[in-house]
Structure 1
Amino acid sequence: MPLFIGLMSGTSLDGADGVLASIDEHVDGCQVQVLSAGHVDFPENLRSTLLALQHPGADDLHHEALAANQLATCYAACVRQLLTSAGITSDQVVAIGAHGQTIRHRPELGYTRQTNNGALLAELTGIDVVVDFRSRDVAAGGQGAPLVPAFHQDLFAAGGLRVIANIGGISNISILPPRGSHAVPTTGFDTGPGNMLLDLWTQRHCAQAYDRGGQWAASGTVNAALLTVLREDAFFRLPGPKSTGRDLFNARWLDQQLTHFGNLTTTDVQATLVELTATTLIDALVTVAPHVNEVFICGGGAYNTFLMGRLHSALAARGSTATVQSTLEIGVPPDQVEALAFAWLALRFMARTTGNLPTVTGAHGTRILGALYPA
């Protein structure tokens, strides 16, 4: 089977995840074998620059260009790690799919911006590089996100209705009809913040990158009044297709919501933010897939034991008997799913096959996604 590399750095801004995988597509879905997986932490100066670029600032073009170069260097380091671990040479890999780092996402204004330097990455690795997967969908009137439901359907669809929930910095869901069924289309959309606000609050008050296992949040108590205020944001009432990111759910947004809650403990705020992630995701899921039997979680949120428990409780509170499990239970570790999706998107581009789902993004039709930088 042909070999592809997928590289993903998401809204959590912790680093680059990569996979080297053999991927083969069939009429009834794709087969994937991961040969190696890797992660490269972002240097602190790159992370701080990428955070600063989320908002307008002085000399943005210059700072973005330098960040793109540094990001490509991190991506190249991850590629070397993957090749070395698998004992594979660069000439054996068909292409790299590199998502880039989202610094603006405004599909309602007709653009999305994932900073990256595909030319430099091709130069550093000697492998064809496919980048800029969102722009063509946006040009076709779509949200440009989420892009992963098409991959989820290809890889994870089974005999019954399934939901794949990706909880990275932002949460999104993919509603997968039974494989081979044409009565109901695959759908999906962003549901709101995932780990992003949790990580932000943890970094601010604990001097840690994230709340490992949700232990800090578990020591707090959900504040019902604050949760109500947080859930009043208009985004949660929008129907899909919809997408979001740091343009909305950021430190400024959170601080504004906390204006009248200065007497809360930091642990209570963290517990409430976990409840926000869990309840908004489950509300969206139950609205569009009330009869789902299986929910599988990928992304960093799958490792947050407290959050996983709150997701299950939120489902049960809505009368659902669906199980909540990690995607590891269906063969793929949760921290590999998104990187695998961009390896799959690279395969689709190289085959000149469409990669979006209009039922997910709202685009006018299916499109070939990406732009190529040949080695």
Structure 2
Amino acid sequence: MLVLGVMSGTSLDGIDLALCHFSGFGPINYEILYAETIEYDREWREELSNLYMRDGSYLCSMNIHYARLIALQIQNFLSKKEVIEILKSRNTQNSDLLISSHGHTVFHEPDTGLTLQIGHGAVIMAMTKCHVICDFRSQDVALGGQGAPLVPIGDELLFGEYDACLNIGGFANVSLKIDGKRRAWDICPANIVLNRWAARLGDTMDRDGKYSQTGRLIREILDQWEHLEYYQKKGPKSLGREWVESIFLENVYESVFNPRDLLHTAVEHIARRIAADLPSSGRVLVTGGGAYHPGIINRLKQLTSAEIILPDKWLIDFKEALVFGLMGYLGWHNKINVLSSVTGAEKDHCSGVIFKNQNF
């Protein structure tokens, strides 16, 4: 089955599109056939970063407008020569394709029963004439779970040969087996804070660590971060932008400290927190944009005796889109795609809202 995984993360890099093929269920075979990241322009990046402060009416309208953006990017993706040839070689029409869309998270406060990902699936279905499955988090929160992380279903079914799977995106999160059960949790903020302070220097990210490596450690800030209450909690647990805004992105930091120093201190903090949550040995698969940050990876290698494994570029960049494609594949076939051992929900379940293309 061909599935187009669509992912937008909290780091606001852009929309990841991964055309994947899945077959079977025990085991599941997969292949990334073609993938691309569509970067947000400055207007969309600012819009999405400020959405959490908007009123309900505005959020409802953006749910539609953002869905239109996703749909337009999917249409452009499907019109590429390479993609057309792939679909033709597999005797697949656009109308047979399943789009599995995560949407973009505006709020995530599972302890209050609140999570919101915009990008309405009905709009995407109507514009692309493809089947769509979306809204994977709401059901888990309703069942008492954290609604995150969701990617560990892919770690369990596709990457079980690794002792741990680490993703360094907007947030860093880890997935591993403990006492025979898959466990996972958000470790700490990562690119969501690095990108913010890189923006103060006129850039979109701390590319290759070029800003953080010229900064100095702010010891008093590092000590504050290292002793945050969240790090003392046991999983299941997850992080949202609201928590990051209140603790890491307060204006007081930005008005007092040099952004290079904040970046340098954040890199040290990220590496320390990740190392504290990794197993003491074994093979760790590392993906997400943070896998390209030499400061984080080199410091992590110093802090842990586990083997840090960086896979090929497509897996680093598109693992989350791949796994949301997997979740769509499982959801379409009414198979479990969310693990309660990870999220803390009352049971394993099959999540996602389906919009069929109605034979357009």
The normalised TM-score by structure 1 is 0.87
Question: 1:318 — aligned with what?
Answer: none
Q: Please give the alpha-carbon distance, in whole angstroms, between the structure 2 residues aligned to 1:70 and 1:35.
A: 24
Residue 340 in 1 paired to residue 336 in 2? no
Question: 1:180 — aligned with what?
Answer: none
Q: Please give the alpha-carbon distance, in whole angstroms, between the structure 2 residues aligned to 1:14 and 1:73.
A: 18
**Which one of 288, 295, 300 corresponds to residue 299 of structure 1?**
288
Question: 1:114 — aligned with what?
Answer: 117
Tell me the CA shift for residue 248 of structure 1. Answer: 1.0
Tell me the CA shift for residue 45 of structure 1. Answer: 2.2
Residue 370 in 1 paired to residue 340 in 2? no
- Structure 1 pair 221–101 and aligned structure 2 pair: CA distance change class (3 A): same
Question: 2:310 — aligned with what?
Answer: 326
Deviations, residues 2-35 of structure 1 (Å, cap 9, x unaligned): 11110000001121001111112342x3221111
Q: Please give the alpha-carbon distance, in whole angstroms, between the structure 1 residues aligned to 2:95 and 2:284.
A: 36
Tell me the CA shift for residue 296 of structure 1. Answer: 1.5
Question: 2:206 — aligned with what?
Answer: 211
Residue 91 in 1 paired to residue 94 in 2? yes
Greater Cα shift, 58-67 or 276-285: 58-67
- Structure 1 pair 86–58 and aligned structure 2 pair: CA distance change class (3 A): closer
Q: What letter matches 1:352 in structure 2?
A: N
Residue 224 in 1 paired to residue 225 in 2? no
3-state DSSP class of the match of 1:340? helix
Residue 198 in 1 paired to residue 194 in 2? yes
Q: What letter matches 2:300 in structure 1?
A: L
3-state DSSP class of the match of 1:324? strand
3-state DSSP class of the match of 2:316? coil
Q: Please give the alpha-carbon distance, in whole angstroms, between the structure 1 residues aligned to 2:80 and 2:165.
A: 26
Residues 146 and 172 in structure 1, CA contact (< 8 A), matched pair in contact too:
yes
1:69-88 alignment runs, 5 A limit: 69-77=67-75, 79-80=77-78, 84-85=82-83, 87=85, 88=87
Tell me the CA shift for residue 118 of structure 1. Answer: 0.9
Q: What letter matches 1:100 in structure 2?
A: G
Question: 1:31 — aligned with what?
Answer: 29
- Structure 1 pair 66–352 and aligned structure 2 pair: CA distance change class (3 A): closer
Tell me the CA shift for residue 59 of structure 1. Answer: 4.6
The normalised TM-score by structure 2 is 0.90
- Structure 1 pair 81–234 and aligned structure 2 pair: CA distance change class (3 A): farther
Tell me the CA shift for residue 253 of structure 1. Answer: 3.6
Q: What letter matches 2:151 in structure 1?
A: V
Q: Please give the alpha-carbon distance, in whole angstroms, between the structure 2 residues aligned to 1:176 and 1:239.
A: 15
**Which one of 298, 309, 319 corresponds to residue 298 of structure 2?**
309
Question: 1:245 — aligned with what?
Answer: 240
Residues 38 and 82 in structure 1, CA contact (< 8 A), matched pair in contact too:
no
1:166-181 alignment runs, 5 A limit: 166-176=167-177
Residues 171 and 281 in structure 1, CA contact (< 8 A), matched pair in contact too:
yes
- Structure 1 pair 337–65 and aligned structure 2 pair: CA distance change class (3 A): closer
Question: 1:7 — aligned with what?
Answer: 6
Uncovered stretches (5+) of structure 1, i.e. residues with no partner: 178-182, 316-320
Residue 187 in 1 paired to residue 186 in 2? no
Deviations, residues 58-91 of structure 1 (Å, cap 9, x unaligned): 8533553354344333542464266743522543
3-state DSSP class of the match of 1:342? helix
Greater Cα shift, 71-80 or 7-16: 71-80
Cα RMSD, aligned residues only: 2.3
Q: Please give the alpha-carbon distance, in whole angstroms, between the structure 1 residues aligned to 2:329 and 2:124.
A: 17
Q: Please give the alpha-carbon distance, in whole angstroms, between the structure 2 residues aligned to 1:346 and 1:76.
A: 16
Question: 1:129 — aligned with what?
Answer: 132
Q: Please give the alpha-carbon distance, in whole angstroms, between the structure 2 residues aligned to 1:74 and 1:240.
A: 38
Tell me the CA shift for residue 256 of structure 1. Answer: 5.8
Deviations, residues 287-333 of structure 1 (Å, cap 9, x unaligned): xx34x311121110111122111111221xxxxx21112132xx952
